[in-house]
Amino acid sequence: MQARPAPGPILFLDSGIGGLSVLAAVRRALPHAPLVYCADSAGFPYGTRTEAEIATRVPALLGRLVERVHPSIIVIACNTASTIALPHVRAALDLPVVGTVPAIKPAAERSKTRVIGVLGTRATVRQPYVDDLSARFAADCTVLRHGSAELVEAAEAKLRGKTPDPAIFRAAIEGLAHQPGGDRIDVIVLACTHFPLVAEELAEAARALLPGRPVSFVDGAEGIARRTAHLLSGLHWPAPAPPGRAIFTGGTESVAPYRPALKAFGIETVESL
Ligand code: DGL
C-alpha cells in the first residue's frame, strides 16, 4: 500500500514580521504542522497604502505563494490585509483562508468601563469592517481608534535587536487616551499583528499615561489558532514538524538582522520570492 503524502503546510502572510505573533499561537495549537511564513517585505508597510493597492496586491501574491508551497490553509496574519482583501482572496483561491480582524468582540466582553481602544494601522482603523465589528459586538461601548505607522516600525526594529524610542509607545497610547472619553479606556485591542510583539512596551506606556486605571490588551492570535486547528482537524502531520521556512518578497540581503528573532520563532530557512 502506498503511503499517503503528508498534507501541505500552513501558509502565513504579513507585510513584515508582525504575523510571527500569530504563527506562535498556531504552532502551540498544532505543534506538528509545517509552517511557511511569508513577509511581503517588498510591499511593506501595508498600513500606509490605499485600499486598492492592498486589494490587488494580496490576492496576487497569495496566488504565487500557493503555487510555490502548496499549503493546506492560508492564514492572513495581518489586520490591514484581512480587513481590506479577505473577500478578494477567498474569491480568487480555492483553499480555506483564515483572516485576522480586530478583536473587538473579546474586548467588549472584558471591558467594565465600556470604553475600548483600537490600536491598528492607519488603513485598518478607517475600515468599514471595524465599524461593523463595533456595531455588532460593542454597540454599548465607546470605541476609540488610533492608527500608527511608527509602532509598526518600532516592532520591526525590536525584532532586528534594536531598542525603539519609548516616546513611540507613549505617542500611540496618547493617540487613544487623549480622545474624548479616552481616560476611561480599560481594554485596548492590538489590531495590528506587529503590536503584540511590543505589548510590554505599550503596557508600560499605558501605566504611565493612565495611572490608577488598569488597562488590559487583547489580540486575535489565540482565536485564529483555534479556528485554524478546527479547520484542519482531519489532517495529521508526521512528528516532529520540520523547521519553519520564511519567504521574503524583497530579497534576502536585508534579512540578516532578523535571523535571531526568526530562529526564536522556529524559522531556520529564508528564501526569496
Ligand atoms: N502587521 C500588519 C497588520 O496587522 C500590517 C503592518 C504594516 O505593514 O503596516 O495590520
Asked if residue 18 lies in contact with residue 77, where contact means CB atoms within 8 angstroms, the answer is yes
User: 95 and 226 share a domain?
Assistant: yes
CA 220 – ligand 1 centroid, Å: 14
Q: Which atom of ligand 1 is nearest to the CA of 49?
A: 9
With CA atoms as reference, report the closest residue to 167 among 205, 194, 132.
205
CA dihedral of residues 209, 210, 214, 220 (deg, nearest 10)? -70
User: 108 and 177 share a domain?
Assistant: yes
Q: Judge whether 83 lies within some domain.
A: yes
Q: Judge whether 4 lies within some domain.
A: no
User: 75 and 119 share a domain?
Assistant: no
Average pLDDT, the chain: 96
CA within 13 Å, CB half, 132: 6
| Placement of cell 492564514 in the chain | 75
Q: Which domain holds residue 66?
A: 10-100+222-272
Residues 6+ apart with CB under 8 A from 53: none
- Cβ–ligand 1 distance for 134 under 6 Å, the answer no
Q: Judge whether 2 lies within some domain.
A: no
CA 78 – ligand 1 centroid, Å: 5
Last residue of a domain, one of 200, 219, 238: 219
More confident residue, 7 or 50: 50
Last residue of a domain, one of 193, 219, 245: 219
CATH number, domain of 49, equals 3.40.50.1860
pTM: 0.96
Last residue of a domain, one of 178, 194, 219: 219
pLDDT at 3: 62
Q: Judge whether 3 lies within some domain.
A: no
- Cβ–ligand 1 distance for 198 under 6 Å, the answer no
Q: Judge whether 116 lies within some domain.
A: yes
CA 88 – ligand 1 centroid, Å: 18
CA within 13 Å, CB half, 28: 12
Asked if residue 97 lies in contact with residue 73, where contact means CB atoms within 8 angstroms, the answer is yes
Asked if residue 179 lies in contact with residue 194, where contact means CB atoms within 8 angstroms, the answer is no
User: 250 and 188 share a domain?
Assistant: no
Distances (CA, A) of 76 to 56, 150, 174, 203: 15, 22, 29, 26
- Total domains present in the chain: 2
CA 6 – ligand 1 centroid, Å: 32
Point out the catalytic residue in the list 13, 33, 192, 205: 192
Q: Centre a 10 Å sphere on the Cβ of residue 152 and count the other Cβ atoms it contains.
A: 29
User: 233 and 187 share a domain?
Assistant: no
pLDDT tens, position by position, 131-189 = 999 999 999 999 999 999 999 999 999 999 999 999 999 999 999 999 999 999 999 99
Class of residue 11 by CB neighbours under 10 A (exposed 0-12, middle 13-18, buried 19+): buried
Q: Centre a 10 Å sphere on the Cβ of residue 109 and count the other Cβ atoms it contains.
A: 12
Q: Judge whether 258 lies within some domain.
A: yes
Q: How many residues belong to the chain?
A: 273
pLDDT at 4: 65
pLDDT at 107: 98
Q: How far apart are CA 40 and CA 223, in angstroms?
A: 23
pLDDT tens, position by position, 79-119 = 999 999 999 999 999 999 999 999 999 999 999 999 999 99
User: 128 and 206 share a domain?
Assistant: yes
Q: Is 78 a catalytic residue?
A: yes
Q: Judge whether 1 lies within some domain.
A: no
Q: Is 38 a catalytic residue?
A: no
User: 135 and 207 share a domain?
Assistant: yes
* Crossing angle of the two packed helices 79-92 and 51-69, in degrees rounded to 10: 60
pLDDT at 134: 98
Q: Which of 48, 78, 82, 86 to mutate to test the pocket of ligand 1 (most atoms within 8 A of CB)?
A: 78
Class of residue 164 by CB neighbours under 10 A (exposed 0-12, middle 13-18, buried 19+): middle
- Cβ–ligand 1 distance for 41 under 6 Å, the answer no
User: 231 and 213 share a domain?
Assistant: no
